[in-house]
Amino acid sequence: MKKISYIFAFFFYASSVHADSLTGYVGFYDGITHPVLGFDHFLAMVSVGIVSTQIGGRAIWTVPLTFVSIMLIGGSIGIYLELSDSINPYIMAYFPLEPGIIISVIILGLAVAIGKKLPVRITMACVGIFGFFHGAAHGLEMPLAVNPSLFALGFVTSTAALHILGVIIGYFGEQSTISSRLLRIGGVVIACIGVYALAQI
């Protein structure tokens, strides 16, 4: 039993002799919890799933897939910028990632509140932009991880799961007039949370 515990501990909390500091983002578990514990990330990713369900058809999977795909691109760029010796790391502190993430929460919340079938291409374009900001934010943190590969796998898995959760919420939210109204009210609440968070920056 102890051997099994050691194996799981090694998998989730693999350490590195090259680590300069303990960041907490050391494995698959941390990658999963990162989007969930980040409230702005959580709301945006669930909202993407809800909006895709409101549009319906192929958008149910193409919209979330767009987010995840562009998020990976943004993450790769974030990693490069963080590891590049030619770029002053302090410059990245002024790159508007956090405002971009919060704005995505506001816009996606409003989209849920509207509750109408939005144009698929415009939605995918907006979701792609939002995914880039979220991915870049993750990417800038991944090099600090003791095991960035497991961390990346974790946050991609968590993102997909949050999209699915949003799809489920959107599906049941469209089943009746009452649930539809509650869903739209939820969208307003999400947008208001985003506005409040933006005002705190």
Q: What DSSP assignment string belongs to 8-74?
A: HHHHHS---TT-SS--S--SHHHHHHHHHHSHHHHHHHHHHHHHHHHH-TTHHHHHHHHHHHHHHHH
Residue 122 exposed, middle or buried by CB count within 10 Å (0-12, 13-18, 19+): exposed
| Per-residue pLDDT tens digits for 117-143 | 888 999 999 999 999 999 888 777 765
Output 4 or 74, whichever has higher pLDDT.
Answer: 74
Q: Which of 23-32, 83-92, 95-104 has the lowest mean pLDDT?
A: 83-92
Give the Cα-Cα-Cα angle 130, 140, 20 (nearest 5 degrees). Answer: 160
* SS3 assignment, position 119: coil
pLDDT band at 82; cut points 50, 70, 90? low
Contacts of 72 (CB under 8 A, 6+ apart): 135, 156
Asked if pLDDT for residue 11 goes beyond 50, the answer is: no
- Chain mean pLDDT for the chain: 80
Tally of CB atoms within 10 A around 170: 24
Provide the 8-state DSSP code for 91. Answer: G
Distance CA 126, CA 117 (A): 15
| Cα–Cα distance, 187 to 181 (Å, whole number) | 10
The type of residue at 164 is I
Q: If DSSP codes are grouped into helix, strand and coil, which group holds residue 127?
A: helix
The candidate with the shortest Cα–Cα distance to 147, out of 34, 23, 6, is 23
